[in-house]
Amino acid sequence: MFAAAQFESWVFLDDLAAVYERDSGRFEAVLTGGGPFISRPENLLKKIHAYRLRVEKEKEPSPELAFASPSDSELRFVSRTSDAVMLAEVSPVSVPFTVCERFLAGRYSLKVQGVKGMRHDDALDFIKRFANSVIFDLDLLYGLVTRLAPHGELNTLHRRGGTLSYDQTPYIPRNVYDEEPLTLYMHARAVRGMPLVEYLGYYQSLECYFPAYVHADMVRRVGQKLRDPAFNPSRNGDIAALLGMVQAGGGGMPEVEQLKLLLRNCLNENELVSFIRQSPGSEEFLGAKKELSGVPLIHLNDLGRKPSDQVAARIYALRCRIVHTKVDGGPKGASLLLPHSYEARKLDHDLALIRFISQRVLIAEASAAGW
């Protein structure tokens, strides 16, 4: 993509290992895993490419798959429209960039083409938003964990998660995700060997949305009260009751109820149940008393309680065990959940669950991309 680089029009973007070629509208931004790597990116891309070649040999060749990965060292993003002018790919850092920054040799970068004439600040804002959308989508599709590399950082791309599905085609992102909760999510996603830190990162990404949903719920309830034919604005008792409701809801809603409110609005109950049941061993672990003390169990066959409410109660109780003891308001009879403890090493199913929920909430709150 940078075969004919126009160095005179290059703009280096602040502290990122990224460059913008203003005249041609090309970006190149180096990616990093933010920690010890699990799988080198070229190995992962070769697996994706090998899978697609095998599929194409078994059936009629797919133009979409062929375009999505024309070689085993790059991953191209397919446009959803036929008239799109934007191109994007993940591939080895281009030769001109490595000439300028030798430490980038052997690294991988996100390359975008088709956005001309931006000033520095606009270009920096664009590549951050676009890259964040790409990074989140790659995590959902392939379990690939990465982020934009600060200048001089030497870590590499890495992969986290369970079994990958190589048959999915990456598209130009259609969503823009909220920066603060996405940053917290990506920080948690990059953590290795510290399950409590990872868990709290996902929880904090959910917390970002509590105020908005509490406010929306209060607006709805106040509206219902005002529309009640029995409500008399001339009667002091009715006004006092309305004020009491507002005061109780404004800052008095328990945090676990705020979490329940968020999950009810952002999750599909059937999708949540399917996720738990399709994750090997998850339903059994989450419903077993002996596994983790002081946290509510999840029983998907309990028709009297919504699965999302059960999940919210468990997530909040685990969060309390991580950050404080029962003296500070945590679960009764439950001790502080300590790093490197036996229970902390058994959090895989709970981590997968809260990661899934964090993803669903980020998607539910995403806005349509304008690129």
What's the angle, vertex CA 179, arms to CA 19 and CA 12, rounded to 5? Answer: 10
Task: State both tokens at 273.
Answer: 């149940």
Q: Could you tell me the pLDDT band of residue 61, with boundaries at 50, 70 and 90?
A: very low
Any domain includes 102: yes
d(CA 37, CA 39): 6
d(CA 342, CA 201): 21
d(CA 266, CA 253): 19
Any domain includes 236: no
Same domain as 109, residue 12 = yes
Any domain includes 157: yes
Same domain as 362, residue 260 = yes
Same domain as 20, residue 169 = yes
- pLDDT on residue 218: 74
Same domain as 284, residue 164 = no
Last residue of a domain, one of 138, 173, 208: 173
What is the tally of structural domains in the chain?
Answer: 2
In this structure, are residues 361 and 206 in contact, taking their beta carbons and an 8 Å threshold? yes
Q: What is the pLDDT of residues 7-21, one digit of tens each?
A: 677 898 877 889 999
Asked if pLDDT for residue 291 goes beyond 90, the answer is: no
- pLDDT on residue 158: 46
Same domain as 259, residue 169 = no
Last residue of a domain, one of 115, 138, 173: 173
Task: Report, in angstroms and rounded to the nearest whole number, the Rg of the chain calculated over CA atoms.
Answer: 24
Question: SS3 of 82, please?
Answer: coil
Same domain as 276, residue 161 = no
- pLDDT on residue 248: 66
Same domain as 263, residue 127 = no
Segment 183-212 mean pLDDT? 93
Sign of the CA dihedral with 134 first, then 172, 263, and 221 last: positive
Any domain includes 222: no
- pLDDT on residue 53: 57
Same domain as 266, residue 356 = yes
Any domain includes 237: no
Same domain as 300, residue 168 = no
Segment 114-133 mean pLDDT? 92
Helices (H), the chain: 41-58, 63-68, 95-100, 120-142, 179-190, 195-207, 210-227, 236-251, 255-266, 269-278, 282-286, 307-323, 348-364
Same domain as 140, residue 262 = no
Range of the domain at 342: 255-367
Q: Which residue has the tokens 């990093």?
A: 32
- 10 Å CB burial of residue 151 (0-12, 13-18, 19+) is middle
Same domain as 260, residue 140 = no
Least confident of 96-110, 194-208, 343-357: 96-110
Any domain includes 16: yes
Same domain as 125, residue 17 = yes
Asked if pLDDT for residue 156 goes beyond 50, the answer is: no
Any domain includes 158: yes
Segment 184-204 mean pLDDT? 92
Residue 89, strand partner residues: 76, 111
| Spatial CB neighbours of 21, under 8 Å, sequence gap ≥ 6 | 2, 5, 6, 9, 10, 11, 27
Last residue of a domain, one of 127, 152, 173: 173
Any domain includes 163: yes
Model-level pTM? Answer: 0.74
